[in-house]
Structure 1
Amino acid sequence: MRSTDYARPRELREAVELRAAHPEWMLLAGGTDLMVNANHRPVPAGIIDLWRMPGAGTITATDAQVKIGAGATWFEVETHPAILATWAPLAAAAREIGALQIQARGTIGGNVGNSSPVGDSLPVLLALDAELELASVRGTRYVPYREFCTGYRKTALAADEIIATVTIPAPTKATRTTWRKVGTRRAQSISKVMGAAAIELDGGVVKSARVALGAVADRPIRIAAIESAVVGLSPEKAAEAARTALRTAIKPIDDVRSSAAYRHEVAENLVARFFSGILS
Structure 2
Amino acid sequence: MDYARPTTLEEALELMRSRPWTVLAGGTDFYPALGGGPVKADVLDINSLRELKGFSRSDSHIVIGARMSWSELLEAPLPPVFDMLKQAARDVGSVQIQNVGTVAGNLCNASPAADGVPPLLALDAEVTLTSHAGKRHVPLSRFILGNRKTMREADELVTAIRVPMAACEGRSGFVKLGARRYLVISIAMAAARLVLDSGRVRGVAIAVGSCSAVARRLAGLEAVLAGASPDAVPALVAAYGFPELAPIDDVRGTASYRREAAREIVARALAQAAGEVLGGGIAA
User: What TM-score, normalized to structure 1?
Assistant: 0.91
Residues of 2 paired with 1:132 and 1:107: CA distance?
A: 14
Determine whether 1:169 maps to 2:164: yes
Identify the residue that residue 280 of structure 2 maps to in structure 1: none
Residues of 1 paired with 2:4 and 2:19: CA distance?
A: 11
Identify the residue that residue 184 of structure 2 maps to in structure 1: 189
Determine whether 1:12 maps to 2:9: yes
Identify the residue that residue 240 of structure 1 maps to in structure 2: 235
Residues of 2 paired with 1:143 and 1:41: CA distance?
A: 34
Determine whether 1:226 maps to 2:227: no
Following TM superposition, by how much is the alpha carbon of 1:210 offset from its aligned partner in structure 2, in angstroms? Answer: 1.1
> Judging changes above 3 Å, is the alpha-carbon distance between structure 1 residues 136 and 173 closer, same or farther for their aligned structure 2 residues?
closer
Q: CA RMSD in A?
A: 2.1
Following TM superposition, by how much is the alpha carbon of 1:101 offset from its aligned partner in structure 2, in angstroms? Answer: 0.8
Identify the residue that residue 47 of structure 1 maps to in structure 2: 43
Determine whether 1:58 maps to 2:70: no
> Judging changes above 3 Å, is the alpha-carbon distance between structure 1 residues 21 and 262 closer, same or farther for their aligned structure 2 residues?
same
Q: Secondary structure at the match of 1:78?
A: helix
Following TM superposition, by how much is the alpha carbon of 1:173 offset from its aligned partner in structure 2, in angstroms? Answer: 8.1
The one-letter code of the counterpart of 1:30 is G
Determine whether 1:27 maps to 2:23: yes
The one-letter code of the counterpart of 2:35 is N
Following TM superposition, by how much is the alpha carbon of 1:107 offset from its aligned partner in structure 2, in angstroms? Answer: 0.6
Instruction: Report if the CA contact (8 A) 2:129-2:159 is conserved.
Output: yes
Instruction: Report if the CA contact (8 A) 2:93-2:183 is conserved.
Output: yes
List runs of 5+ in structure 2 lacking aligned partners: 277-284
The one-letter code of the counterpart of 1:67 is V
Q: Secondary structure at the match of 2:208?
A: strand
Following TM superposition, by how much is the alpha carbon of 1:248 offset from its aligned partner in structure 2, in angstroms? Answer: 3.4
The one-letter code of the counterpart of 2:67 is G
Q: 1:88 aligns with which of 57, 60, 83?
A: 83
Instruction: Report if the CA contact (8 A) 1:32-1:106 is conserved.
Output: yes
Residues of 2 paired with 1:61 and 1:37: CA distance?
A: 35
For residues 196-255 of structure 1, the C-alpha deviation after alignment (integer angstroms, 9 at most, x for no partner) is 111222321112311101000001111111111111211222222223224433221111
Following TM superposition, by how much is the alpha carbon of 1:123 offset from its aligned partner in structure 2, in angstroms? Answer: 0.2
Residues of 1 paired with 2:104 and 2:167: CA distance?
A: 26
> Judging changes above 3 Å, is the alpha-carbon distance between structure 1 residues 40 and 154 closer, same or farther for their aligned structure 2 residues?
farther
Determine whether 1:149 maps to 2:132: no
Q: Secondary structure at the match of 2:206?
A: strand
List runs of 5+ in structure 1 lacking aligned partners: none
The one-letter code of the counterpart of 1:190 is I
Residues of 2 paired with 1:274 and 1:199: CA distance?
A: 10
- Over the matched positions of the two proteins, sequence identity in percent amounts to 37
Determine whether 1:201 maps to 2:196: yes
Instruction: Report if the CA contact (8 A) 2:175-2:268 is conserved.
Output: no
Following TM superposition, by how much is the alpha carbon of 1:13 offset from its aligned partner in structure 2, in angstroms? Answer: 1.1
> Judging changes above 3 Å, is the alpha-carbon distance between structure 1 residues 166 and 173 closer, same or farther for their aligned structure 2 residues?
closer
Following TM superposition, by how much is the alpha carbon of 1:62 offset from its aligned partner in structure 2, in angstroms? Answer: 5.7
Identify the residue that residue 160 of structure 1 maps to in structure 2: 155
Residues of 1 paired with 2:167 and 2:228: CA distance?
A: 19
Following TM superposition, by how much is the alpha carbon of 1:76 offset from its aligned partner in structure 2, in angstroms? Answer: 0.7
The one-letter code of the counterpart of 1:205 is R
Determine whether 1:125 maps to 2:120: yes
Residues of 2 paired with 1:272 and 1:60: CA distance?
A: 32
Instruction: Report if the CA contact (8 A) 1:240-1:272 is conserved.
Output: no
Identify the residue that residue 281 of structure 2 maps to in structure 1: none
Identify the residue that residue 217 of structure 1 maps to in structure 2: 212
Q: Secondary structure at the match of 2:204?
A: strand
Instruction: Report if the CA contact (8 A) 1:61-1:67 is conserved.
Output: yes
The one-letter code of the counterpart of 1:229 is V
